[in-house]
Amino acid sequence: MSWRGGSVVRPAATDIMRRRIERARCRVLVVVLALGSLAPDVSAQETVTFRGAATFYGDNSEFSNLFRNGDTLFGTAARFAIDVAFNDIVTFRGGVFLNHRFASEPFVETVRPMFALTFRSEHQLFTMGTLDARGHRDGFGLDHRGPHGLIPPLQTETLEFVRPYEAGLQWQLSYPEFEQDAWIGWQRLNTVDARERFDVGAEGRRPVGTALKMSVAYQFHLVHEGGQQFASGPVRDSWAVGPGLIIEPRLRFFDRTEVEGYAMFSRHVPDRSGLGDAGHGHGIFTRITAEKSSWRGHLIVWGACDWIKEEGDENYGSLRLDDRRFLNTRHYGEIGVTKTFHPADGVDVEGSARFHRVEKDYNYSYRILAHVGLDVLVWRR
């Protein structure tokens, strides 16, 4: 302000706003220049890419047994994001995730922001934020592996439909002599109403031998509910771990065959304050898979004692629908066939049918999946 004729003359509001904007611009410019001086010269490799992906799923299970009820899941899970690649190593992803269940009252049942920062090298990928577990090494469908490649007794396949969004940390390794996917995913915060909940998992394999294609493997999964801020409910743990062996014999008729077996061990603690209800379990999982052209068939045999695993497929477990334990040895068998289609670039379709033997009950299920992916380069510098 200034003096004029003995009175105070105040500057106009527009002048004050203009000066504030100029000062803010100067501060932003200083910050940008400071960060630019610290960053490496990667301007020749910067790209901006729009990525869209959608999975249309229809899953129907006609289960009528002591352990699991049938369910019908129809819907679409979609991701729309912008990837900003600063160089060949660092990429930022921002977007939105949507999951729509057909015939549900809300138009979109799940809406989540997508924010992820990835660091990539030739054989490693580290992700912070929204996870993308679709890196199935055996195709995009779920009749062979679950969301993270875990076998069904550890993590049921349908989690990809009922909980398709995951966020946390993920470290993936892909060396010629070793592969691994390890992650931690946060599912719920610790509040006055509920304990926090997260899961931790890892699965990997290492090739051994030369005459016969074979790999030693392992799987681990833990589901934990706890938190120290609010004592809202019991502290719970449910985990399973085990080694495995995967053999891929060369048979003349088939394009690819695989025989895998795992010896699994579990520990289920529904309440740490009452360890008398905790239980140990063990099981043997065997799966045989054969592929020919666009067809894939598989056979699963499972036997277990006192197997209770959070997020695992209930058909493999020892806990009945009425929460009573099945005291005898659990037996489960499954046979299925899958047909894959690739009608266009970026479009994959799978249809599968399966027959299940759950103790003395015989059930069936079927599923159709369609995955659409679209990547568009928006800008390059």
3-state DSSP call for residue 324?
coil
Position 147 confidence tier, pLDDT thresholds 50, 70, 90: confident
How many degrees, rounded to 5, is the angle at CA 249 between CA 141 and CA 312? 40
- Provide the whole-model pTM: 0.85
Residues near 342 by Cβ (< 8 Å), separated by ≥ 6? 348, 349
Quickly list DSSP for 161-172. HHS---EEEEEE
Average pLDDT of the residues of the chain = 87
Q: Cβ(68)–Cβ(314) under 8 Å? A: yes
Torsion of CA 22, 25, 29, 32, to 10 degrees: 170
Written as six digits, the tokens of 112 are: 């989540």
Backbone angles phi, psi at 21, to 5 degrees: -65, -40
Count of beta carbons in the 10 Å neighbourhood of residue 99:
22
Taking only the tens place, the pLDDT of each residue in 33-49 is 333 433 444 444 799 99
Question: What's the pLDDT tens digit per position in 313-327?
Answer: 999 999 999 999 998
pLDDT at 40: 43
> For residues 38 and 212, what is the distance between their CA atoms, to the nearest angstrom?
51
Check whether 145 has a pLDDT greater than 70. Answer: no
Confidence band of 8 (pLDDT split at 50, 70, 90) = very low
As a whole number of angstroms, the distance between CA 354 and CA 194 comes to 37
Extract the tokens encoding 138.
Answer: 């055996």
Q: DSSP letter string over 199-234?
A: EEEEEEEEEE-SSS-EEEEEEEEEEEEE-SS---S-
Rg (CA), the chain: 26
For residue 213, give the nearest of 173, 256, 263 by alpha carbon: 256
Locate CATH 2.40.160 in the chain.
52-380
CATH code matching the domain that covers 52-380, chosen among 1.10.150, 2.40.160, 2.60.60, 1.10.490: 2.40.160
More confident residue, 169 or 25: 169
How far from the centroid of its chain's Cα atoms is residue 9's Cα? 65
Instruction: Write the CB contacts of 200 (distance below 8 Å, at least 6 apart in sequence).
Output: 183, 184, 185, 220, 221, 222, 224
Q: What is the pLDDT of residues 253-304, one digit of tens each?
A: 999 999 999 999 999 999 998 776 778 999 999 999 999 999 999 999 999 9
Q: What is the tens place of the pLDDT at every residue in 85-123?
A: 999 999 999 999 999 999 988 888 899 999 999 999 999
Distance of CA 114 to CAs 51, 77, 88, 109, Å? 12, 13, 21, 16
Residue 22: predicted pLDDT: 52
Express each pLDDT in 196-239 by its tens digit.
Answer: 999 999 999 999 977 889 999 999 999 999 998 888 889 999 99
| Single-letter amino acid, residue 21 | I
**What's the pLDDT at 15?**
53
**Terminal alpha carbon distance of the chain:** 47
Q: What is the reported pLDDT for 141? A: 59
